[in-house]
Chains A and B, each alone.
Chain A
Amino acid sequence: MRYVRKLKDMKKKHSTTDKKSKASSSSQPETLMINLEENLEVIKKTLGESSDIVIRDVLAGTDGNIHLAVIYTEGLADKTFIQDFIIKPLMLTIRETEISDKGSQHMSSMDILKNFALSNGDVKKIGDFDSLYLHVLSGDTVVLLEGYTKGFSIGSRGWEDRGVNEPSSQTVIRGPKDGFSETLRTNTALVRRKIKDPNLWIETKPIGKKTRTDVALVYLKGVADDKIVEEVRERLLRINIDGILESGYIEEFIQDETYSPFPTVFNTERPDTLAAGILEGRIAILVDGTPFALLVPAVFVQFFQSSEDYYQRFDVSFLIRILRYVSFFLALITPSAYIAVTTFHQEMLPTQLLISLAAQREGTPFPALIEALLMELTFEVLREAGVRMPRAVGSAISIVGALVLGQAAVEAGIVSSAMIIVVSLTAISSFVMPAINMAISVRMLRFPLMFLAATFGLFGMILGLITIILHLCSLRSFGVPYMSPMAPFKSSDQKDVIFRAPISRMFSRPTFLKPNDKIREKPPTPKPESN
């Protein structure tokens, strides 16, 4: 068997090398050539004379003896910038400059251009077509010279941007209102504005063979665990796909467990949440083209924390956090508990309540499970419709929803009004979660629990819950157990789980993230006794 496999491997290798050699022989030369015309020919051929690529010939120099070409992509590059600071100096300034200094006469025209004409900050030398295309298609301007195998790439990116707006998915009452936008540079700037530390390192790498999307790894050197940083870097390097269109792609590639209803990567639109995570020793991944940044390693309790928790007084946020955990459980088990109690354990209910429930259920034709499924399904459809429909018809949905869910279903005797209460409670509870992806997993897990409750009552529910907790305990996110710091229990990390300690008492970073630098703030030194 092994021999056969080896043979296959060899065959594979052969075929790939064949392809490579074929590709290189048929395609254009890799490095720039001396002749400018030839270079431009190659570029035009490769880019297929796309209408948004602008190639401008310029004759520069005192006698117009330097033949050069300016190449940029219209729409991605800042047109006025190019006219004022690239083409104009090349055509005019160079002519006016007296290059009388003896040393400068020995300079090549390339250096003269760089030193006397191009007054831009971001100028790079490039030597091969690959980087030329990458720069041009990213919005930079490339200048090529006759007689040189090198060219300049000048940073001139400037395209229509949505700007920094209020985040739409994670709103707060108190706290900064800026959110990430689609441009990577804006986003990194937003993070830098929060953390002005030289140890904030931003590593950028294009991922995706066709899209060449810039993906930035942001972390605090000396705080984040080096092993985890290395692990994230490796997982990013392993990605081999044609395109990255959103950070969700990256999330699916780097997460630990693919087949799990629970998210093991945290995402946020808010720079303050991201900065807080980085300060705790987490690692952020920013992706160009999306306002959603990723934060790893993620633990279960993180999805119950909102950045607002830290801006309000600690007792308020403690209560609100309890509310979130309670509503998590409500969203998960309310329908199944209702089914289990009404079908199997009627004795649990106080007599009065039981009588009123029985009276309501008398007219309804379906068993509790079908009733619950019907209403839950209706609600899910309404919610999905609410997200997708055009704004203009929004009110129609809410009218239909209110009527169908509230009135007509009960009056027609299809469902009992108690079931309406249960479904609404579930629905409202699932909106309390600050992280949407956690709310979605609860939405999904509700249904198997309902089936278990309908067949085995509370016994089935408990089985289901144990299974869920077992699964949660088996998860890991970049080596960190998902349920930490609850399991494995760390008493020093309990300051920010259910109870949020006053910020002046949070001396240390969470230890489950294994930060290199554990101390956040110095514990106050005892005041010297006053006489």
Chain B
Amino acid sequence: MEKLKISALQFTNIVILFTIGSSILIIPSGVAEEARQDGWLAGIVGLAGGILVILLFNALQKQHPNLTLSESCEVILGKWVGKGVSFIFISFFFMLASTVMWDLVNFLTTHILIHTPIEVISILFISLIIYATRLGLETIVRCGEIFLPWVIGLFLVLILFALPEAKFSNVLPFLEEGLKPVFRGAILSMSIPYLQLIVFLMLYPAVQSVPKSGKSLLIGTLLGGIVLISITTSCLLVLGIDSTIIQSHPSYILGKKIRLGNFIQRIEVIVAIIWMLTIFFKLVILFYSSTLGFAQLLGVKDYRTLTFPLGIILTVLSLVIFPNSTYANEFAGTVWIPYSFTICVLLPFLLVIIGKMRRKKADNT
């Protein structure tokens, strides 16, 4: 484990970047598909649900504030069962990293670099991820501090320039089909960014003031969630429901719609830059946590030794994980939600309960 420390503010920054991550590309169309014109409401409900989940994570963290997730698994469940459970967690991070990578590559090859081979883009991006991971967590979070103002600034530009095109009739009628579709949308939006924040349980011990870290995670999630809700809302307002659902990356199309005067138009590539940055941070955090987790699992002293082998596996996995985007959508709609709820809600919940019972037992004897 690195002895380097990051401040609570830095932690909040990186949580914001992670929450925006790849969700900003996928969430608007997914939520709109479930909740139709009430997608913005689904986003808010999803954020509320997400906050609840984070309270659960914080409760788990409070039991062993100075241990990473995989270490506390071993303490709570004993060495071998703990190792098994932490392997499940870490493989989840790794799977998540490969799907995020797939999302990015899919996005780039559909919209921006149409003729460039997928493999080349993957290898290039993952080499950057490996480089960043080898430089260590401190460098990554500092880099996040540099980029966050850019991300927020460009995002504000996007939203402000898109507002003149908004039509409020697009989100009416309110609650046409009752609350049920809203909840379906909320569950989807919970599973895409908020549940994945469990990865920060791997980073908690690196935060300087441990008691504050829970609060920074909450604040970061809240701010990131607001960004996601506003992008979903503006997609619905500007593009309308149908075109939000049909497009696989509606927020990118949003950039195409912008037209200000006769000069600022089609700024979607600038928009793509924001996502490249946030996806980069999401991937780095996931990759860093999974290498760190694997290192702790296997008893490797320095996680840096694992970056190259795991990077190569990640490259290949991200290329083969989904054969096409239809499959990916199907997977996200059916498999992903129960899968992530099992790992990010059920398992931590059990861990909290078992931990409490064990502590009680220890207190009694």
Interface residues of A (CB under 8 A from B): 344-345, 347-348, 350, 456-460, 462-463, 466-467, 469-470, 472-474, 481, 483, 486-489
List 26 A-B pairs, Cβ < 8 Å. Answer: A348-B267, A350-B262, A456-B113, A456-B116, A458-B269, A458-B273, A459-B112, A459-B113, A459-B276, A462-B276, A466-B143, A466-B147, A466-B280, A469-B143, A470-B128, A470-B131, A470-B140, A473-B139, A474-B135, A481-B142, A483-B146, A486-B146, A488-B7, A488-B142, A489-B10, A489-B145
Nearest neighbor of B135 in chain A, beta-carbon distance: A474
Contact between chains at B121 and A459 (CB < 8 Å): yes
A507 CB to closest chain B CB (Å) equals 22
Contact between chains at A345 and B143 (CB < 8 Å): no
Among B116, B132, B142, B273, point to the contact of A483 (Cβ < 8 A): B142
A375 CB to closest chain B CB (Å) equals 25
Nearest neighbor of B13 in chain A, beta-carbon distance: A489
Contact between chains at B113 and A344 (CB < 8 Å): yes
Contacts of B128 in A (CB 8 A): 463, 466-467, 470
B298 on the A face (CB < 8 A): no
B277 CB to closest chain A CB (Å) equals 7
Contact between chains at B272 and A458 (CB < 8 Å): yes
Bound Cα distance A347, B114 (Å): 14
Interface residues of B (CB under 8 A from A): 7, 9-10, 108, 112-113, 116, 121, 124-125, 128, 131-132, 135-136, 139-147, 262-263, 265-267, 269, 272-273, 276-277, 280
Nearest neighbor of B124 in chain A, beta-carbon distance: A463
Contact between chains at A469 and B147 (CB < 8 Å): yes
Nearest neighbor of A458 in chain B, beta-carbon distance: B269
Closest 4 CB pairs of A and B: A487-B142, A487-B145, A473-B142, A474-B139
6 A-B pairs besides A466-B143, A483-B142, A486-B145 with CB distance below 8 A are A350-B265, A458-B272, A458-B273, A467-B131, A469-B147, A470-B132
Contacts of A459 in B (CB 8 A): 108, 112-113, 121, 276
Nearest neighbor of B116 in chain A, beta-carbon distance: A456
Q: Do most interface residues of chain B lie in helix, strand or loop, or is the interface mixed?
A: helix
A468 CB to closest chain B CB (Å) equals 10
A480 CB to closest chain B CB (Å) equals 12
Nearest neighbor of A462 in chain B, beta-carbon distance: B276
Bound Cα distance A460, B124 (Å): 9
Contact between chains at B263 and A350 (CB < 8 Å): yes
Contact between chains at A348 and B269 (CB < 8 Å): yes
Bound Cα distance A362, B113 (Å): 24
Contacts of A470 in B (CB 8 A): 128, 131-132, 135, 139-140, 143
Contacts of A345 in B (CB 8 A): 112, 269
B47 CB to closest chain A CB (Å) equals 26
Q: Do most interface residues of chain A lie in helix, strand or loop, or is the interface mixed?
A: helix
Bound Cα distance A43, B140 (Å): 62
Contact between chains at A487 and B143 (CB < 8 Å): yes
Q: Given A350-B265, A456-B124, A459-B108, does the pair A488, B145 have CB atoms closer than 8 Å?
A: yes
Contact between chains at B146 and A473 (CB < 8 Å): yes
A513 CB to closest chain B CB (Å) equals 17
Nearest neighbor of B115 in chain A, beta-carbon distance: A344
Bound Cα distance A456, B120 (Å): 10
Bound Cα distance A78, B175 (Å): 97
Interface centre among A344, A457, A473, A481 (most CB of B within 10 A): A473
Bound Cα distance A344, B265 (Å): 17
A141 CB to closest chain B CB (Å) equals 56
Bound Cα distance A483, B145 (Å): 10
Contacts of B135 in A (CB 8 A): 470, 473-474
Contact between chains at A469 and B7 (CB < 8 Å): no
Nearest neighbor of B6 in chain A, beta-carbon distance: A488
A205 CB to closest chain B CB (Å) equals 34
Bound Cα distance A463, B144 (Å): 15
Contacts of B142 in A (CB 8 A): 473, 481, 483, 487-488
Bound Cα distance A472, B140 (Å): 11
Contacts of B132 in A (CB 8 A): 466, 470
B80 CB to closest chain A CB (Å) equals 37
Contacts of A456 in B (CB 8 A): 113, 116, 121, 124
Contacts of B121 in A (CB 8 A): 456, 459
A105 CB to closest chain B CB (Å) equals 72
Contact between chains at B266 and A348 (CB < 8 Å): yes
Interface centre among A469, A470, A472 (most CB of B within 10 A): A470
Bound Cα distance A481, B265 (Å): 39
Nearest neighbor of B280 in chain A, beta-carbon distance: A466
Nearest neighbor of A340 in chain B, beta-carbon distance: B269
Bound Cα distance A466, B132 (Å): 9
Nearest neighbor of B145 in chain A, beta-carbon distance: A487
Q: Given A348-B266, A489-B145, does the pair A463, B125 have CB atoms closer than 8 Å?
A: yes
Q: Given A348-B269, A487-B145, does the pair A466, B9 have CB atoms closer than 8 Å?
A: no
Interface centre among A348, A459, A469 (most CB of B within 10 A): A459
Contact between chains at B266 and A347 (CB < 8 Å): yes
Nearest neighbor of A475 in chain B, beta-carbon distance: B139
Bound Cα distance A345, B265 (Å): 13
Bound Cα distance A462, B121 (Å): 13
Contact between chains at A457 and B124 (CB < 8 Å): no
Nearest neighbor of A350 in chain B, beta-carbon distance: B263
Contacts of A472 in B (CB 8 A): 146
B274 CB to closest chain A CB (Å) equals 10
Contacts of A350 in B (CB 8 A): 262-263, 265
Contacts of A344 in B (CB 8 A): 112-113
Bound Cα distance A481, B132 (Å): 16
A338 CB to closest chain B CB (Å) equals 14
Bound Cα distance A456, B118 (Å): 12
Contact between chains at A462 and B277 (CB < 8 Å): yes
Contacts of A348 in B (CB 8 A): 266-267, 269
Contacts of A469 in B (CB 8 A): 143, 146-147
Contacts of A473 in B (CB 8 A): 135, 139-140, 142-143, 146
Contacts of A463 in B (CB 8 A): 124-125, 128
B154 CB to closest chain A CB (Å) equals 12
Bound Cα distance A460, B344 (Å): 35
A476 CB to closest chain B CB (Å) equals 10
Bound Cα distance A345, B255 (Å): 14
